[in-house]
Structure 1
Amino acid sequence: MNLKILTAIGLACAMFISCEKELDIHEPGNLVPKTVVEDPSLPSISVNGTTLHAETYGNPESSLVIFLHGGPGADYQNGLNVKKLADDGYYIVFYDQRGTGLSQRHDKNTYSIQLYLDDLTAVIKHYRTFPSQKVFLFGHSWGAMLTAAYINAYPDRIDGAIFAEAGGFNKQLLDEYGEASRKLNLFSEITNDVLYYDQFLTGRENEHEILDYKLAIASSFSYAEGNDEGIEGPSPLWRNGATVLQAFMDISENEGFDFTTNLNQYQTKVLFLYGKNNKSYGLSFAKKEAAFFPNSNIVQIDDTGHEMIYFKWNSVYPMVLDYLNSLN
């Protein structure tokens, strides 16, 4: 069914009709799933002045592997295959970053890179059970950028890192990757579908339910047939964080960023993964990012693209496990 039709039906149900009563789009849970603040039954932790949707797998005494999801503004649901590592003796931590997924929402002007780094520090402190417990970061896309940012700021705190197709470790690389992968043809049918919903819903800054709903519809272009990132199709997602995405886009455009200034001080071997079908990334881009580290290994994952962790975990898993075991 055409996305326009699905959108119109969804909006009609959400805004105008219900079998029993009219629904208010501003009521939590009507347009998008509730956050941990609105639904206390969800697994969560309260750290650094926010409440994060979070869960763990494995023995709390084992080495920590913290999964950092993509976005900014996505969530960890499509990375849950990583929990398999708990069977191999690792303590796996997932959390929806501040303002994303099912975590607590905040005003746009409160977000910063340093705040996200502070959140990660607080997550590590929350789950670490003893000082010598090893901590590994496993970042995908934006989460891999955040991994680089954390190591760049605190190279002595992390015992190893896995980078699955980081969007770019500095503004120049991010722009290069974005030009190749995310540009929409303004005259394409995909773009028409993306913009169609705006006839029905508007959303001012910090109207999180409406903005998150709109972003969910808009994001469908990323896995359209023939996309340059080689994404096979949709992967599971609880809820987008539109305000976070806009906040970090503004930071990138207005302030710029560079997560590479101290990476050459990090002597531990790091692992880079890329999907063979992602035309926008590839070996050449992986080499550009890996070059910032003194010791790195690059591995191609065949028959998949940017969402390799969800679609081709069986191919990703042995590479990740071998790397972690080599440092554990």
Structure 2
Amino acid sequence: MSEQLRIVFMGTPDFAVATLKNIVASNYKVVGVITAPDKPAGRGRKLQQSAVKKYAEENNLNVLQPTNLKDPNFLEELKALDANLQVVVAFRMLPEVVWSMPTHGTFNLHASLLPDYRGAAPINWALINGETKTGVTTFFIDEKIDTGAVILQKEIPIEADENAGALHDKLMNLGADLVTETLKNIAEGTVTTKLQLQTTDLKTAYKLNKDNTKIDWNLNTETIYNLIRGLSPYPTAWSFLKNREENPINVKFYDVEKEIKLHNEDPGAILADKKEVKVATKDGFINLKEIQLPGKRKMNIKDILNGYEFDKKAKML
């Protein structure tokens, strides 16, 4: 006989919405939804609601938006919901007073096959590192980041030309199904867990920043190609372009093709004609398909060539 679960759901972006939808569609009782406070965004700096808040309010779910997860008033509100389980998807790190509150604990959905790719950007780093498979994991939260006991995992292959956007959507849907399977096991009292391996050679999903998203054209073609697809469409790989402008400009890369080929060009050298643009690497070329120049929207390279000219000495830095 299944136990009646009273669930508090915690999440913020679209990735989390798919799971919340599945929980609601599966007729589990969601007694509260915790999401990020509204934030100013865009040129008008208007307050924007999180994707989770929008869905929750459209479905008449109780929403809380704490700025401080240790605030006594928030903790009283959370306790008053009388949840016996908390589900976390793409939210911030929880203090122990929060994750230890329900009788069944708190479990998290993570977009990797833990223990590999713990951290902030598991989807991106799996692609950047050229992995051929990845997956999703549910695990009970403990005092460290992404280290708790694993409940369930599902694995999928990574396609050779797949980018972060496409993989995000696949893992989003796979994860939503894994969460409802986890809920079923908890409700039926059949849940089992296994401890994560504690080794020193684990791969890490470091937070993405300006430094580790910049392209080094001295690397081989495959490595550069994986960086670009692993960061597309967000936050995007980037490079400085030295062309006719007085100062180098910042270029973002969305879609490229790789070409392994021996040549005598310097890494970063640009070969352009009226139809295509490619950049030399250590052992080939990156053919540009869709990029973004400063102050412009992202455009395919043919449209860019209609109004922008690459000098013979142009180079990516």
Q: TM-score, normalised by structure 2?
A: 0.33
Query: 1 or 2, which has the higher strand percentage?
Result: 2
Larger Rg: 2
Q: Which has the higher contact order (CA 8 A, sep 6+)?
A: 1
Query: 1 or 2, which has the higher helix percentage?
Result: 1
Q: TM-score, normalised by structure 1?
A: 0.32
